[in-house]
Amino acid sequence: MKRLEGRVALVTGGVGGVGAAVVKDFLAEGTAVIISDIRADKVDEAVAGLKAEGHAVAAAAASITDYDAFKSAVEAATGELGPVDIVVANAFVGGTSPTLDKTTPESFRQDVADNLAGTFNTVRAVIDGMKAARRGAIVVIGSVNGLTTLGQPAYSAAKAGLESLTRTMATEYGEHNIRANIICPGTVQTPAWDARIAQKPDVLDGLTKWYPLGRVATPGDIAKAVTFLASDDAGFISGVTLPVDGGLMAGNLQMARELTLEDR
Ligand SMILES: NC(=O)c1ccc[n+]([C@@H]2O[C@H](COP(=O)([O-])OP(=O)(O)OC[C@H]3O[C@@H](n4cnc5c(N)ncnc54)[C@H](O)[C@@H]3O)[C@@H](O)[C@H]2O)c1
């Protein structure tokens, strides 16, 4: 039995690393998918390829920061596939300033406002349909950067803000049988790392030592958690922050060993 049979999902950032993996898993679980992203050419390419394979997909090419354009693109796609039951707010905008000193007032405002408002816009565009249907699952993609200090302060502040926004959604929309949860990935090997890999080819290898499971995530690792939270298997889970981080947030082994004088 497919877990998401008969549903319609909206995935933003749907042609990025994590987004494309979510689309793939959702289609395998029987959902029709609206693929949304700011990169219209990539959206068209993905939709054409998946349709040719017989999948129920539709395009909604728009920026999450432009509410009116985003809403009308999504509405056109729901005309093809039906109203949205599942929304994955996965797109993220900007967020590359590594430290506070390198963050400008303008980049801070933009990163925080665009990411928070973009996720608000994403859900706002489809929430009335979910309320009318009296069912819905919202999955927001946050980051471990929202849970502890790992650089990129404006991006991290936005991700921390998304936790609060998700809790409010869970609280306000619960009476409409709509759940909202946030997944906080650790490092995921996606195109988001391309620029840093170009600067330092072994950057991801250097990060694996921080992960108790000894590796960074694949996009598929995150997609599996998204699919679970979107499905009825998670039917009584709402308002939850779920790190999907190979144990990164569980603790600091090096410090624990120093504290206990247990060296290895
Ligand atoms: N890759 C990681 O290490 C990592 C770690 C923690 C959290 N995350 C989160 O995972 C999610 C997916 O990131 P990814 O790694 O797949 O990145 P990615 O760069 O592969 O994908 C992001 C997608 O968002 C799209 N996008 C950018 N601006 C947009 C806008 N204004 N409107 C609509 N779409 C827009 C891009 O075109 C791209 O397809 C993000 O929310 C990111 O913050 C990623």
> What residue segments make up the domains of the chain, in order of their start?
8-260
pLDDT tens, residue by residue, 159-182: 999 999 999 999 999 999 999 999
Distance 212 CA to ligand 1 centre (A): 24
Q: Which of 92, 150, 221, 222 to mutate to test the pocket of ligand 1 (most atoms within 8 A of CB)?
A: 92
pLDDT tens, residue by residue, 44-103: 999 999 999 999 999 999 999 999 999 999 999 999 999 999 999 999 987 778 999 999
Spatial contact of 36 and 78, defined as CB atoms under 8 Å apart: no
198 has a pLDDT exceeding 80: yes
Q: Which of 10, 12, 18, 110 to mutate to test the pocket of ligand 1 (most atoms within 8 A of CB)?
A: 18
Ligand 1 atom at shortest distance from the alpha carbon of 89: 41
Q: What are phi and psi for residue 137, nearest 5 degrees?
A: -135, 125
User: Cα dihedral sign for 222, 41, 120, 91?
Assistant: positive
Across the range 112-139, mean pLDDT stands at 97
Across the range 199-214, mean pLDDT stands at 95
pLDDT tens, residue by residue, 105-121: 999 999 999 999 999 99
The whole-angstrom separation of Cα 186 and Cα 165 is: 20
**CATH class of domain segment(s) 8-260:** alpha beta
What distances in angstroms separate CA 6 from CA 30, 54, 223, one per listed residue? 7, 15, 19
**Judging by DSSP bridges, how do beta strands 178-185 and 86-89 pair with one another?**
unpaired
Spatial contact of 239 and 180, defined as CB atoms under 8 Å apart: yes
User: Which residues are within 8 A (CB) of 245 and not within 5 positions of it... i.e. 6 or more apart?
Assistant: 144, 184, 185, 186, 211, 217
User: What average pLDDT does the structure give for the chain?
Assistant: 96
- Per-residue confidence (pLDDT) for residue 84, from 0 to 100: 98
The residue type at 158: A
Spatial contact of 35 and 91, defined as CB atoms under 8 Å apart: no
- Per-residue confidence (pLDDT) for residue 4, from 0 to 100: 95
